[in-house]
Each structure stands twice: as structure tokens, then as C-alpha cells.
């Protein structure tokens, strides 16, 4: 079984403390603070990293589905917007918007949309986030 590890350290109180998050394989290490999570401060947030993971997972799942269907995607670009809202007296991720643009020679729009919906439903990160409303906008941009 493949495992992935990440680390986080938090020092201090919630509002004026600070932390760092690090991916075990060295792909990312950076700071996070109350301001970077709940306001517009410098640094990252757990939700931003979830968005990056979801965008990456979805893009790979879409590529896999398209490949299995006999198409060779040239490029898939996905953005994820993660909404952190006050929910039930605390905070929660209320919605994730995935927006993808893909260049896939030879595919019809309907087949592309079906593959995109299947990828949204079946990528491992989407499955892990099943309690969250996940919206998808998929655009085919063949030249």
C-alpha cells in the first residue's frame, strides 16, 4: 500500500501563533498563520493544500479516463477554489469548485463532459471529500 506523509508544527496561540507545514518527499515546506488561513496574510493554509491536492488528483483521474477511452490528452489544467465558512458554530469546508480546461484531440464534447464527471466522482481526493459539495466546470479547448 502506498502511503504519503505530511508534517505540521504550530507554535503559540491561535491568533498570534505561527506554524509550518511540510511534505515528506520535499515537494513543499512553508509557513501558515491565522491570517493566512482566515484573512489575507502571507503563507498558505490547509485548505489551499487540499485545493492543490484535489486539482492534481482530478487532472490525473481525467487523463486516465480519457486514455482508457482511447484519447490522448495534450494538456489538462485544473484550478480548485476551496470555501472555508463558519458552519454550525465552527468552521468547515462548505464547497470546492473545480474548473478544468483540457485539450483532447478527437473527442466530442459530450464524451469529454462524461469523462470529466466520472473523474470528479472517482478521483481519490473527491472520494475522501465526499461530504463536501464539489462543483465542476469543464471546458474542452481543442485548437
Q: Per-residue pLDDT tens for 93-114?
A: 999 999 999 999 999 999 999 9
Question: Which of the residue ranges 84-88, 126-130, 139-143 has the most confident prediction, judged by mean pLDDT?
Answer: 126-130
d(CA 51, CA 57): 10
SS (H, E, C) 43-71: CECHHHHHHHHHHHHHHHHHHHHHHHCCC
Are the C-beta atoms of 106 and 71 separated by less than 8 Å?
Answer: yes
Positive/negative CA dihedral, 97, 77, 60, 66: positive
Render pLDDT for 35-78 as a digit per residue (tens, 0 to 9): 999 988 899 999 999 999 999 999 999 999 999 999 999 999 99
The pLDDT mean for the chain works out to 95
Question: What is the per-residue pLDDT for 57?
Answer: 97
Residue 93 has which C-alpha cell? 469546508
Q: Higher model confidence: residue 91 or residue 65? A: 65
pLDDT confidence bin for 80, thresholds 50/70/90: very high
> What is the DSSP pairing of strand 90-103 with strand 133-140?
parallel
d(CA 33, CA 27): 20
Question: What is the per-residue pLDDT for 25?
Answer: 85
Question: What is the per-residue pLDDT for 89?
Answer: 86
Question: What is the per-residue pLDDT for 26?
Answer: 81
Asked whether residue 18 carries a pLDDT value surpassing 80, the answer given is: yes
At CA 95, angle to CA 88 and CA 135, rounded to 5? 150
Question: What is the per-residue pLDDT for 22?
Answer: 94
Predicted TM-score (pTM) of the model is 0.93
Residue 42 has which C-alpha cell? 502571507
Amino acid at each position: 500500500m502506498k502511503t504519503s506523509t505530511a508534517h505540521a508544527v504550530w507554535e503559540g496561540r491561535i491568533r498570534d501563533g505561527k506554524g509550518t507545514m511540510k511534505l515528506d518527499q520535499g515537494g513543499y515546506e512553508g509557513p501558515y498563520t491565522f491570517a493566512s488561513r482566515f484573512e489575507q496574510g502571507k503563507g498558505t493554509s490547509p485548505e489551499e493544500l487540499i485545493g492543490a491536492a484535489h486539482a492534481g488528483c482530478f487532472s490525473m483521474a481525467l487523463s486516465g479516463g480519457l486514455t482508457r477511452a482511447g484519447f490522448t490528452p495534450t494538456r489538462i489544467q485544473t484550478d480548485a477554489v476551496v470555501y472555508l465558512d463558519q458552519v454550525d458554530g465552527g468552521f468547515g469546508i462548505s464547497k470546492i469548485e473545480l474548473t478544468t480546461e483540457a485539450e483532447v484531440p478527437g473527442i466530442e464534447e459530450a464524451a469529454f463532459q462524461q469523462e470529466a464527471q466520472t473523474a470528479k466522482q472517482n478521483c481519490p481526493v473527491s472520494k475522501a471529500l465526499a461530504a463536501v459539495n464539489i462543483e465542476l466546470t469543464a471546458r474542452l479547448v481543442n485548437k
